[in-house]
């Protein structure tokens, strides 16, 4: 469902506040986390040198999951043992950002599922090997874009196939990532996103910007400079659509189970704000 006139969040904190006020559905005090999971995962595709390491906190509320990918030492894995049985309202006030993000994502995925959102276009990733499914996912993300030659694209959270896809459209990739020094084809990866926020003509970011606290700054920069912001979200797949048309231009939302955790067909949901259906 689209945002109401009374629910147009300007930040993650205001979104949490609006959820607590009941603007998105039932009182979060009435919903509890029935399962909490900690996942440590790595991926390295055949014939490549890049190893991706991911650490996830997953919370289940009813039939839905909330996900937050974190840095290696951001949370102790024992956190999963303490969170089940807690009301969502309690976890939305937790001092740990990652817990708040996972709880918010679980709540929104439970009360506003993508399948009921008229703005979302579902796409089933094919069954198959991890590379097959990853390529299909990345092609869907690229399908949200129609870049112009020599456009500068800030890529915050580097995925090598996206670097290649940006370059294939004639655009210039400005990569930024805390955990990578070079892209697969040798581009230097900046660890400071601030110059990229000021130089880029388009921003493409991962949902992990929610878990490291940089999403609000990125959102504010996109609004201030009036540039497109595209988010590919495993973390926060239920959160980011609340900002669609209010700073976020397009989204590839992938709720759990993620493509790397299944060989069977699984859905992703593609969103575009009005006025940006055909081009960026």
CATH number at residue 211: 3.40.640.10
- Would you state the pLDDT for residue 104? 98
- pLDDT tens profile 167-212: 988 999 999 998 888 988 889 999 999 999 999 999 999 999 999 9
144 domain-assigned:
yes
Specify the pTM: 0.92
Q: Which tens digits make up the pLDDT trace of 151-165?
A: 999 999 998 888 888
Single out the residue of 6, 28, 32 nearest to residue 19, CA to CA: 28
Domains of the chain: total: 2
- Indicate whether 1 belongs to any domain: no
Model pLDDT, residue 279: 45
First to last CA, the chain: 23
Q: Is the pLDDT of residue 65 over 60?
A: yes
Contact 102, 80 (CB under 8 A): no
168 and 264 co-located in one domain: yes
Q: Convert the pLDDT of each residue in 248-276 to its tens digit.
A: 999 999 999 898 888 999 999 999 997 65
Residue 6, domain member (yes or no): no
The verdict on 54 and 41 lying in the same domain is yes
pLDDT of residue 141: 86
pLDDT at 223: 97
Edge-first strand order for the sheet with 202-206 is: 120-125, 266-272, 250-253, 229-233, 202-206, 152-156, 172-176
Range of the domain at 94: 12-115
pLDDT mean over 21-38: 97
Inform me whether the pLDDT recorded for 280 exceeds 80.
no
In a 13 Å sphere around the CA of 29, the CA atoms on its Cβ side amount to 4
- Say how far apart CA 203 and CA 218 lie, in whole Å: 8
Share of the chain above pLDDT 90, in %: 70
Beta bridge partner(s), residue 69 = 56
In whole angstroms, what is the distance from residue 104 CA to residue 127 CA? 30
If asked whether residues 28 and 156 sit together in one domain, one would say: no
The pLDDT score that the predictor gives to residue 17 is 97
Pairing mode of beta strands 266-272, 250-253: antiparallel
Q: Which whole-number Å values give the CA distances from 145 to 123, 142, 161, in the listed order?
A: 16, 5, 14
Tell whether 73 and 149 lie within a shared domain.
no
Whichever domain contains 52, its CATH number is: 3.30.390.100
C-alpha 203/C-alpha 173 separation (Å) is 10
**With b meaning 16 or more CB within 10 Å and e meaning fewer, what string describes 235-271?**
bbbbbbbbbbbebbbbbbbbbbebbbeeeeebebbbb
pLDDT of residue 275: 61
Which burial class, exposed, middle or buried, applies to 37 when counting CB atoms under 10 A from its CB (0-12, 13-18, 19+)?
A: middle
Mean pLDDT of all residues belonging to the chain: 91
Question: Residue 231 is encoded by which pair of tokens?
Answer: 């988010």
Domain C-terminal end among 64, 90, 115: 115
Choose the final residue of a domain: 69, 96, 115.
115
Mean pLDDT of 6-17: 89
Least Cα distance to 72 among 60, 58, 57 occurs for: 57
Residues 6+ apart with CB under 8 A from 193: 154, 156, 176, 214, 217, 218
How confident is the model at residue 175, as a pLDDT?
96
Mark which of 81, 115, 149 sits at the end of a domain: 115
pLDDT score of 265: 93
Which one has a higher pLDDT value, 46 or 231? 231
Q: Tens of pLDDT along 76-126?
A: 889 999 999 999 999 999 999 999 999 999 999 999 999 999 999 999 999
Tell me the mean pLDDT in the region 48-58: 88
pLDDT for the residue 259: 87
Within-domain flag for 277: no
pLDDT score at 3: 45
Computed from CA positions of residues 205, 49, 189, 185, in that sequence, does the dihedral angle turn out positive or negative?
negative
């Amino acid at each position: 469902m689209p945002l109401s006139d009374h629910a147009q969040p300007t930040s993650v904190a205001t979104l949490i506040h609006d959820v607590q006020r009941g603007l998105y559905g039932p009182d979060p005090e009435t919903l509890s986390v029935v399962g909490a999971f900690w996942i440590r995962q790595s991926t390295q595709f055949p014939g490549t040198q890049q190893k991706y390491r991911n650490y996830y906190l997953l919370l289940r509320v009813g039939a839905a999951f909330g996900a937050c990918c974190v840095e290696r030492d951001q949370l102790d894995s024992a956190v999963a043992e303490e969170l089940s049985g807690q009301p969502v309202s309690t976890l939305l006030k937790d001092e740990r950002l990652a817990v708040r993000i996972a709880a918010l994502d679980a709540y929104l995925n439970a009360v506003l599922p993508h399948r009921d959102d008229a703005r979302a276009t579902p796409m089933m990733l094919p069954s198959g090997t991890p590379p097959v499914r990853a390529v299909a996912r990345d092609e869907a993300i690229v399908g949200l874009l129609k870049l112009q030659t020599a456009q500068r694209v800030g890529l915050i959270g580097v995925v090598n196939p996206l670097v290649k896809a940006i370059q294939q459209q004639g655009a210039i990739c400005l990569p930024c990532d805390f955990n990578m020094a070079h892209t697969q084809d040798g581009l230097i990866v900046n660890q400071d996103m601030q110059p990229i926020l000021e130089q880029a003509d388009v921003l493409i970011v991962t949902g992990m910007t929610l878990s490291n606290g940089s999403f609000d700054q990125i959102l504010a920069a996109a609004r201030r400079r009036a540039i497109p912001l595209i988010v590919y979200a495993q973390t926060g797949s239920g959160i980011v659509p609340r900002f669609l048309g209010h700073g976020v231009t397009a989204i590839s939302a992938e709720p759990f189970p993620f493509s790397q955790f299944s060989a069977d067909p699984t859905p992703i949901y593609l969103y575009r704000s009005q006025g940006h259906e055909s081009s960026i």
